[in-house]
Chain A
């Protein structure tokens, strides 16, 4: 059987066809405004090149930056009602208080604060006031808003208030979508609430986008199931991504890192993904990207998602080199997609990082006879470029072990053969590592519930949770032999009788076939 991986980026839509661990073909097409066009073109090309029969394709895995870009560009975000259960606490900082003005406007900026919420130990701050919720529902309805984000204080400890309040609001707003903050975030109410509001505002876009993917597959005659990748490298079903589009944030770097790991066979490494204008450097630990430890801004809004820890520098294939001698400057401007017109090696007038590589004979791009038009201090310019790369790699290095640097992306010729004391590996198919990362997306099984420790030990409860998650992953199509523990966290809930603990646990495995 065959699998297809697609990466819908801001500039290019890449696609690969894989059979088992083999890559049969990889292609690039420009991303289109409607998303569908670019996907159809890439799918058509890649099926054609690989010769894989459509009926033998078992699944299509799609990685997309579409939802991140919607937030960054403040487009396609729906007007959203933010409901916070907190009173009398937390009223000094209302929802969206620290959002940039334009994005607050993009979601309509409407919020309600109501009685509710819990203390750190599960006690109530105050009980839900049903009459108050009914009044809020009426106001949301009157404002014509049909997507609601509900956030309650300490909901990661107890999500009961969020669930009950959403159920009550839904009675009065039967057509509305509800996002509960406890389902997507962690402690830190502003960041969790931000994620919930952004999620609520993207749900309509998510439905349209997922439907467009479906139509694109149909248009090329593919009838298999399709999945969307999330930021931890696992796959989401169509229904799941419709409900939680924010979980796709930062899936791009995750896919490129996991793709690099797969292509090179290295599980612990630094990955440098060099594009046209920037280089993203991240660290792989046991085959997965290391998560960032601090808050991460998405479009100027603080979130506390577990995003991959990525350090970006303004260095890509199209980066403009200006000045001379000691005053040489590398970037930050880039000629971007105009590289094939403006770079010297393509007959243009602008000295770019790619020209430096061509001039030194490191790359075979464009016209080598243009070397005569390049400055003669290319060596010292290349040293400066190497120093930028070394600094970024050193930042991401997780141990003194001499782990390899995996160079991927269209501009990876800029990475020297050694970075400091680290060897560099350039895997085959390096330019479509993102799409490969999507194609090898894993199936997960998750458990998040409260276990009583009255009649069993913590270890027994963890084992029970792991078995439950494993069964779920197998039922969803994971190969039992490949299942591993990805993430595990248990929070003792001192306030509940019988010594209870909340266990959140996720296992992952490769997809069958």
Chain B
């Protein structure tokens, strides 16, 4: 897109909600509550300024933040509202440095919204980019962590005034472990801010322009609805992706394992794909797509499932036998395709040591 995004306004929020849910590839939590909270901040006369990666000063201090906890708590105990702001302030106090900008750890799903509303509260800009370019289940799966930034000191804040600063841990894995233990007494939900990063580092490793990407994706879907265009085609064209299959779900197996929703979908193609069979494996997010037993797309590329009529994203908890869906493959950013990235977010990291990641060929597909 030619226009550089400078600010997120009220009319952008519905589109970002849809786009962020598409980039959530089935997981990431529902951005609905976050959208409402952003809207409330704007009603108070606050603004959400956006800064493009290219304009970030090398010596700027950027903090990555978001909500952490159990998804069910997020829909029942809504936040007081300034949890992430307090975590941010705690980081400033701990490091003795002022933060210049905020960035989302994860654009896919609910954590697309948290940095935007915190930016409005703090009077800081939010950077147009994020640490995943999609959704992933764990904290160390950010490009910050993959490319060597240490997340400590990190700060957690709840609605009651409890603030926990984790000053140091030997690895980010330890941080995830200790933070998970600390969030339980807080009621299984908190705002989390991690150690400041330099502007130079963020420019090098952030997945660029992902707020703009979510916005444009959502706008395209909404426009397609209004103009009675095919929303599926619109998403594919916008993202340079491929239509992997239009299909009906003919088998669905899903269960909880170690706090994750794990499962498997069997698909029967229709339309141009009649007579074909497909399979999708999921763990919170959609991980692997197979056609007739052959892997055609896998993490870290994005496997997106949309309602075949409306083009609206279907999250893993909304899946149902008989649903008619469009399965799309969208290429992930090159930052997620390096050997060090694939070690953390490639198929082997999700329990598929036998799958060798092949970057998905962009564009085209068989949409005749």
Contacts and interface: CB of A to CB of B under 8 A. Distances in A.
Contacts of B70: 120
Contacts of B77: 86, 89-90, 117, 119-120, 125, 153-154, 189
A90 B160 CA distance: 11
Interface in B158-209: 159-161, 187-188
A398 B73 CA distance: 31
Interface stretch (A91-99, A100-108, A317-325): A91-99
A394 B248 contact: yes
A293 interface: yes
B188 to A, nearest CB: 5
Contact of A189 (B76, B187, B188, B322): B76
A120 B72 contact: yes
B80 A92 contact: yes
A396 interface: yes
A293 B322 contact: no
Given A90-B78, A125-B77, A187-B76, A97 B36 contact: yes
Contact of B40 (A93, A154, A293): A93
A88 B78 contact: no
Contacts of B323: 395
A424 B160 CA distance: 60
Contact of A125 (B33, B187, B248): B187
A397 interface: yes
B265 to A, nearest CB: 15
Interface string A382-417: 000000000000111111100000000000000000
Which of B72, B78, B321 lies at the interface centre, i.e. has the most chain A CB atoms within 10 A of its CB? Answer: B78
Contacts of A187: 72, 75-76
A188 interface: yes
Contacts, number: 83
A293 B249 CA distance: 15
A92 B37 contact: yes
Interface SS of chain B: helix, strand, loop or mixed?
Answer: loop
Contacts of A49: none
B324 A89 contact: no
A294 interface: yes
Given A189-B75, A394-B248, A90 B318 contact: no
Nearest to B317: A293
Interface in A109-146: 117, 119-120, 123, 125-126
Contacts of A294: 318
B76 A153 contact: yes
Interface in B102-119: none
Contacts of A397: 322
B263 interface: no
Contacts of B296: none
Contacts of B360: none
Interface string B34-47: 00110010000000
Contacts of A117: 77
Contact of A90 (B40, B79, B320, B324): B79
Contacts of B73: 120
A369 to B, nearest CB: 38
Nearest to B37: A92
Given A98-B36, A190-B75, 14 more contacts: A88-B80, A88-B160, A90-B79, A92-B40, A92-B81, A93-B78, A120-B70, A120-B73, A120-B187, A123-B187, A394-B322, A395-B322, A396-B322, A398-B321
Interface of B: 33, 36-37, 40, 70, 72-73, 75-82, 159-161, 187-188, 248, 250, 318, 320-324
Interface of A: 86, 88-93, 97-98, 117, 119-120, 123, 125-126, 153-154, 187-190, 293-294, 394-400
The 8 A-B residue pairs whose C-beta atoms are closest, nearest first, are: A92-B81, A90-B78, A119-B187, A89-B159, A188-B75, A88-B80, A88-B159, A153-B77
20 contacts: A88-B80, A88-B159, A89-B77, A89-B159, A90-B80, A90-B159, A92-B40, A93-B40, A119-B187, A123-B187, A125-B77, A126-B160, A153-B76, A154-B77, A187-B72, A190-B33, A293-B320, A396-B322, A397-B322, A399-B321
